[in-house]
Structure 1
Amino acid sequence: MEQRAVSAEGRRTEADRARSGRVRRPDGAVVRPPDAIDVRRRIPPTDRLLRDPRLAVVVDRLGAGVVKAAVHEAQERAREGGISPERVAETALALLPGTASGLRPVINATGVLLHTNLGRAPLSVTARQAVQEAAGPTDVELDLATGVRARRGRSALAVLRERVPRAGAVHVVNNGAAALLLAATVLAADKEIVVSRGELVEIGDGFRLPDLLVSTGARLREVGTTNRTTAADYAAVTGPGTGFVLKVHPSNFRVTGFTRSAGTAELTGLGVPVVVDIGSGLLAPHPALPEEPDADTELRAGASLVTASGDKLLGGPQCGLLLGARDLVRALARHPLARALRVDKLTLAALAATLTGPPTPTALALTADPAVLRARADRIATSLGADGLDVRAVECAATVGGGGAPGVTLPSAALSLPEPYAAALRTGPLPVVGRLESGRCLLDLRAVPEQDDERLAEAVRLARTAREAVPVGAVRPAGEGRA
């Protein structure tokens, strides 16, 4: 009995020896037969593999270092007996990433339209093409007609100005937090920023708005309480030492019950600028989000300056928008800090294409018909069910995410799979990120373009063997930030 009892560790050891070609002799010694040594000798050397036409052509696209690393990994697998020497080249090809950036494309099936961990708004095809065209030399700061230097990104700024006609001028920096940082630096250094206690928010990853504001040299003057702040509270402390009054959309949470907040129009007669941080980037009201603030409405109410993000509900690249009074915006744009916060030509190209092009993926996901989503889920579930998978179509609720529309849910549809699929799909050849709900892995279709349905189905098929894997968990929508 004792001779037959082999521990799990022992079985793994014997299996490892078998894969590597080593065997145990009757006397207990572990040796490598001559044929196993010959197998190792048949592994192609690195220089020969790099001359393989299939790999050589990839060097120009990914770089020699990336290709060489894949070759070494494939050779190691052959040495361990995992693959035959004849498969080293094709294994190296399979190990190569799609790009040299280190970032992997994923399918966002979390049900969070603007998922911070997944890069928030996906760019439209038009914006992606614009980025590719702008990758080479462009006229970003050159007037081709005269041959002299021109305003940086003037075409993108002109389009943004057209989309928000109430703004006297516009400017773009590298993200929403930078827009507010620039405003505080220029308008309130050594002065007070008057802000409601209920709007001193944390904007994700432990990043707190008060810390950002005081880093500019401004002083915060808190008014009101967490749940109630009136216009009189602002008026009581506003004076010569006030840089501006700040209104912040608490986009990550909602305060309900006995509440009161002062609107922008109530604060415009205080004799100081009113800066409104709307956060999520709506330029005009959206019928699906009636309570979400937008730039046009705030400017009409009398805001001196509106700040927002470009990679949220606007559906564009990461950037910060400054929209408002001509003299204020020009003062911000000419400040030395603006140089450090400026955006590159690729961002400007993507922003312009987002503003002028067709509806963005974010806009399409926001307005998706729940009946169409359910029909898609039914169709995919039927196809996968025919292959014997444990999958069913279910109704569910999606969210906006990315620091926008707190408390708003959007009716959606999803594929429901056993929980172990969550980890297997995340780590598959085409990563798919879902969420866990009631012990099942849900793949919510609201943020998944319909053209990706077949790719999603194929990813599920490839993950089928992971049904018995230990569940690790899916990325959840909690903790979304707005920075």
Structure 2
Amino acid sequence: MRSIPSIEQLRQRPAMLALETRYGRAAVVAALRAEAAALRNRMTGGATTADAAGAIEQGAAVRLARALSPSLRTVINATGVIVHTNLGRAPLSRRAAERAAALAARYTNLEYDLAEGARGRRDVHANHLICRLTGAASSVVVNNNAAAALIVLAALAHGREVIVSRGELVEIGGGFRVPDVMAQSGAILREVGTTNRTRAADYAAAIGERTALILRVHPSNFRITGFTERPSLDELVALGRRFHLPVAEDLGSGWLGTGSDRPAAPGDEPVVSRSIEAGADVVMFSGDKLLGGPQAGIIAGSESAVSAIRTHPLMRALRVDKLTYAALEATLEDHVTGHAGATVPVARMMALTPDEIEPRANALADAAGAAGFDASVIDGASTIGGGSAPGSALPTRLVALSHPSLTAAAIAARLRAGEPPVIVRIENDRVLLDLRAVFEDEDDLLIAALRNLEGRT
């Protein structure tokens, strides 16, 4: 035990002094004490060490890195899923990231009226851009689309009935279901129709004195095919007008439509502006899916409906901060000006063709082969992800990898353990790398990751 130096002696070692600069004295001392105690226990059990100080120093450095290094890290998304919920959904455009970073470090007019020199409203930010893109009279932004559904129902139907088709009572991921969100809003769910067939007459038959709202939910993360029927939004709007009821539509992914700056429509995703044109009083959609912006729930619609939502007490709990507004405005500006196809990563990745991906895939396969892998370029399919356009596949070119001494699971695990971590998919005991969602400046990092992995086999 005498070979273990004192904590003060250990702290004075150059490596520990350097770590103090980064982590602070208290954290370094705590790590040294923990490692010294662990070594003392091992030595009591019969273990020996020629360099106790070095062992403690090394262990303390690892302990500090694990405890105090950021847990949120960048990863390389080689899965082929563009809007990958587990990987943070839409990556921001350079302009959006720079706008958010610039405003993050300064005071802003988030809730200040510069013309009047008095308190203003934060919900004015991005409003004109949202209205221009959707054709809505007004809009408001909350922190995600589930929050949008919650506050819409709370503001327009608390304590009263909301009519919704049984086939639209979706689970939105993570175990969260539309009926559960509705229950938290205080609205009363009134299911109509069946899972596969619901008619406008079913909605009409359910309308009564307690009815407050007709809700239509786009089933963005699943498809029911075959013997099905579903009333159009036009039919529901006509029904709402007949009975003087507002109609809300939850679009989920938020497709703005096809233009010269945007790729072709994914699957049968509805266009936000068409829902507004059809007469929906409120439309809800996500900011971080097909729009390609930050996480946000965007609510667009009539002035009267949005005003009721804007002034609801829940708005205080669900409002977004200056960083979200900054990134959202920058993203919306690119859609308004027609630059989104070139600047917004989600739009750019969706538009990539197999011919554009193939040269990069060939280069990666060649590098992998030189590093000892069996590598080939094969046809495959990317997906949009994020609960958008289920069943829609984007043709792509994949790099298929195998190794004589490693299983596909082992390759994937080692790639995840690298720096930066690389996330792949596995099919038929082969690792598949799809470059659709890999930024071009990450190609060299991906090649280096494969070379480093071969060096660790």
The TM-score by the shorter chain falls in which range? 0.7 to 0.9
Task: Kindly indicate whether the alpha-carbon contact (under 8 Å) linking 1:373 and 1:412 is maintained by their aligned counterparts in 2.
Answer: yes
Q: What SS class does the counterpart of residue 284 from structure 1 fall into? A: coil
Query: Aligned partners of 2:9 and 2:369: how far apart in 1?
Result: 45
- Map of 1:298 onto structure 2: 275
Q: Does 1:58 align with 2:48?
A: no
Provide Cα deviations, 1:145-195, integer angstroms capped at 9, x if missing partner. 44211111533233322322x101000011100100001111111211111
Q: Does 1:384 align with 2:368?
A: yes
Structure 1 residue 120: Cα displacement: 1.0
When residues 134 and 69 of structure 1 are mapped into structure 2, their CA distance, relative to the original with a 3 A threshold, is: farther
Structure 1 residue 276: Cα displacement: 0.5
Q: What SS class does the counterpart of residue 379 from structure 2 fall into? A: strand
Task: Kindly indicate whether the alpha-carbon contact (under 8 Å) linking 2:28 and 2:60 is maintained by their aligned counterparts in 1.
Answer: no
Structure 1 residue 143: Cα displacement: 2.6
Corresponding letter in the other structure for 2:437? A
Query: Aligned partners of 1:73 and 1:178: how far apart in 2?
Result: 44
- Map of 2:44 onto structure 1: none
Query: Aligned partners of 2:295 and 2:22: how far apart in 1?
Result: 30
Q: Does 1:204 align with 2:173?
A: yes
**Identity across aligned pairs (percent)?**
45
- Map of 1:226 onto structure 2: 195
Query: Aligned partners of 1:97 and 1:130: how far apart in 2?
Result: 31
- 1:114-153 correspondence runs (5 A): 114-136=83-105, 137-153=107-123
- 1:366-381 correspondence runs (5 A): 366-381=350-365
Task: Kindly indicate whether the alpha-carbon contact (under 8 Å) linking 1:42 and 1:85 is maintained by their aligned counterparts in 2.
Answer: no
Task: Kindly indicate whether the alpha-carbon contact (under 8 Å) linking 2:280 and 2:301 is maintained by their aligned counterparts in 1.
Answer: yes
When residues 410 and 156 of structure 1 are mapped into structure 2, their CA distance, relative to the original with a 3 A threshold, is: same
- Map of 1:263 onto structure 2: 232
Structure 1 residue 115: Cα displacement: 1.3
Which 10-residue stretch deviates more, 295-304 or 130-139?
130-139
Query: Aligned partners of 1:317 and 1:99: how far apart in 2?
Result: 26
- Map of 1:316 onto structure 2: 293
Query: Aligned partners of 2:290 and 2:159: how far apart in 1?
Result: 34
- Map of 1:277 onto structure 2: 250
- Map of 1:236 onto structure 2: 205
- 1:423-434 correspondence runs (5 A): 423-434=413-424
Query: Aligned partners of 2:67 and 2:288: how far apart in 1?
Result: 24
Task: Kindly indicate whether the alpha-carbon contact (under 8 Å) linking 2:254 and 2:271 is maintained by their aligned counterparts in 1.
Answer: yes
Structure 1 or 2: more helix by fraction = 2
Structure 1 residue 117: Cα displacement: 1.2
Number of residues paired by the alignment?
427
Task: Kindly indicate whether the alpha-carbon contact (under 8 Å) linking 2:5 and 2:53 is maintained by their aligned counterparts in 1.
Answer: no
Match of 1:463 among 438, 441, 453: 453
Provide Cα deviations, 1:383-424, integer angstroms capped at 9, x if missing partner. 232233332222211111111101001112222223021111
RMSD (Å), alpha carbons: 3.1
Q: What SS class does the counterpart of residue 443 from structure 1 fall into? A: strand
Task: Kindly indicate whether the alpha-carbon contact (under 8 Å) linking 2:401 and 2:430 is maintained by their aligned counterparts in 1.
Answer: yes
Query: Aligned partners of 1:68 and 1:291: how far apart in 2?
Result: 59
Q: What SS class does the counterpart of residue 220 from structure 2 fall into? A: coil
Q: Does 1:334 align with 2:311?
A: yes
Q: What SS class does the counterpart of residue 408 from structure 1 fall into? A: coil
- Map of 2:399 onto structure 1: 415
Task: Kindly indicate whether the alpha-carbon contact (under 8 Å) linking 1:421 and 1:464 is maintained by their aligned counterparts in 2.
Answer: no
When residues 463 and 81 of structure 1 are mapped into structure 2, their CA distance, relative to the original with a 3 A threshold, is: farther
Q: What are structure 2's unaligned runs of at least 5 residues?
A: 40-47, 335-339, 403-407
TM-score, length of structure 1 as denominator length? 0.80
Q: Does 1:395 align with 2:367?
A: no
Provide Cα deviations, 1:345-394, integer angstroms capped at 9, x if missing partner. 11111111221245311111111121111111101111232233332222
- Map of 2:346 onto structure 1: 362
- Map of 1:47 onto structure 2: 11
- 1:11-90 correspondence runs (5 A): 45-49=9-13, 54-55=18-19, 57-59=21-23, 85=54
- Map of 1:478 onto structure 2: none
Structure 1 residue 288: Cα displacement: 3.5
When residues 80 and 447 of structure 1 are mapped into structure 2, their CA distance, relative to the original with a 3 A threshold, is: farther
Task: Kindly indicate whether the alpha-carbon contact (under 8 Å) linking 1:155 and 1:352 is maintained by their aligned counterparts in 2.
Answer: yes
Query: Aligned partners of 2:53 and 2:59: how far apart in 1?
Result: 11
Task: Kindly indicate whether the alpha-carbon contact (under 8 Å) linking 2:7 and 2:29 is maintained by their aligned counterparts in 1.
Answer: no
Q: What SS class does the counterpart of residue 189 from structure 2 fall into? A: strand
Task: Kindly indicate whether the alpha-carbon contact (under 8 Å) linking 1:130 and 1:350 is maintained by their aligned counterparts in 2.
Answer: yes
Task: Kindly indicate whether the alpha-carbon contact (under 8 Å) linking 1:275 and 1:303 is maintained by their aligned counterparts in 2.
Answer: yes
Query: Aligned partners of 1:142 and 1:311: how far apart in 2?
Result: 27
- Map of 1:157 onto structure 2: 127
Structure 1 residue 232: Cα displacement: 1.6
Provide Cα deviations, 1:257-285, integer angstroms capped at 9, x if missing partner. 11111111111122311110000122334
When residues 80 and 340 of structure 1 are mapped into structure 2, their CA distance, relative to the original with a 3 A threshold, is: farther
Query: Aligned partners of 1:82 and 1:275: how far apart in 2?
Result: 70
Task: Kindly indicate whether the alpha-carbon contact (under 8 Å) linking 1:44 and 1:85 is maintained by their aligned counterparts in 2.
Answer: no
Q: What SS class does the counterpart of residue 381 from structure 2 fall into? A: strand
Query: Aligned partners of 1:122 and 1:274: how far apart in 2?
Result: 32
Q: What SS class does the counterpart of residue 92 from structure 2 fall into? A: coil
Which 10-residue stretch deviates more, 143-152 or 216-225?
143-152
Q: Does 1:352 align with 2:329?
A: yes
Corresponding letter in the other structure for 2:205? A
Query: Aligned partners of 2:51 and 2:433: how far apart in 1?
Result: 33
Which 10-residue stretch deviates more, 342-351 or 324-333?
342-351
Corresponding letter in the other structure for 1:211? D
- Map of 2:214 onto structure 1: 245
Match of 1:442 among 419, 432, 442: 432
Query: Aligned partners of 1:412 and 1:66: how far apart in 2?
Result: 49
Corresponding letter in the other structure for 1:442? L
Query: Aligned partners of 1:394 and 1:299: how far apart in 2?
Result: 42
Corresponding letter in the other structure for 1:250? P
- Map of 2:42 onto structure 1: none
Provide Cα deviations, 1:27-79, integer angstroms capped at 9, x if missing partner. xxxxx9xxxx86x65999453258867545534xxx667777777899889x9
